[in-house]
A and B are shown apart, each in its own frame.
Chain A
Amino acid sequence: MADMGESGGGHEGKGKKRAKKSSTRIDMTPMVDLGFLLLTFFVMTSTFSKPKVMSLVYPAKIEDPTPPDQPKINNAITFLLSEDKIYYYAGQYYSKGNKEGKPATELEETTFGPNGLRKLLADRNAYVIRKKEGLDEKLKKKQIQDTTYERTLIDYKKHKEALKVLVKTDDKATCKNFIDLIDELKIAQIGVIAPVDLLASELELIKAKK
Chain B
Amino acid sequence: MPKIKIPKHSPSIDMTPMVDLAFLLVTFFMLTASFRSNEPVDVEPPSSISDKIIPENVLLVTIDKGGRVFMNLKEAEARRELLQNMSAKYKIGFSEKQYETFAGMSSFGCTMKELPGYIDMGAEERKKYETKGIPSDSTNNQLKDWIFYGNIASLNSGKTAYEEAKAKGDKPEINDFKPKFILKVDGQAVYVHAQNVINVFRDLHLNNLNFVTSAEATPK
Residues of A within 8 A of B (CB): 1-4, 7, 9, 12, 28-29, 31-32, 35-36, 38-39, 42-43, 45-47, 49-61, 81, 114, 118, 169, 171-180, 182-183, 186-187, 195
Q: A39-B26, A52-B52 are in contact. Are A58 and B209 (CB under 8 A)?
A: yes
Q: A2-B14, A46-B32 are in contact. Are A53 and B22 (CB under 8 A)?
A: no
Residue with the greatest number of chain B CB neighbours at <10 A, chosen from A29, A51, A57, A175: A175
A residues in contact with B26, CB < 8 Å: 35, 38-39, 42
A-contacting 9-mer, from B117-125, B136-144, B169-177, B199-207: B199-207
Residue with the greatest number of chain A CB neighbours at <10 A, chosen from B35, B211, B212: B211
Cα-based distance from A82 to B103 in the complex (angstroms) = 40
Residue with the greatest number of chain B CB neighbours at <10 A, chosen from A46, A47, A179: A179
Cα-based distance from A52 to B203 in the complex (angstroms) = 26
CB distance from B34 to the nearest CB of A (A): 6
From A4, A56, A171, B16 is in contact (CB under 8 Å) with A4
CB-nearest residue of chain A relative to B210?
A: A53
CB distance from A189 to the nearest CB of B (A): 12
Beyond contacts A1-B12, A31-B19, A169-B191: 6 other A-B pairs, Cβ-Cβ < 8 A, are: A3-B15, A7-B10, A47-B33, A54-B210, A183-B48, A187-B218
CB-nearest residue of chain A relative to B8?
A: A12
A residues in contact with B185, CB < 8 Å: 175, 179
Number of chain B residues close to chain A: CB under 8 A: 64
From A12, A114, A179, B187 is in contact (CB under 8 Å) with A179
- Main DSSP-derived SS at the B contact region: mixed
Residue with the greatest number of chain B CB neighbours at <10 A, chosen from A4, A31, A38: A38
Interface CB pairs A-B, < 8 A, 20: A2-B14, A29-B15, A38-B26, A43-B29, A47-B34, A51-B212, A52-B48, A52-B52, A52-B214, A53-B182, A55-B210, A60-B202, A60-B207, A169-B192, A175-B46, A175-B186, A175-B187, A179-B48, A183-B48, A183-B50
CB distance from A193 to the nearest CB of B (A): 12
A residues in contact with B12, CB < 8 Å: 1-3, 7
Q: A50-B54, A52-B48, A179-B46 are in contact. Are A3 and B10 (CB under 8 A)?
A: yes
Cα-based distance from A53 to B195 in the complex (angstroms) = 18
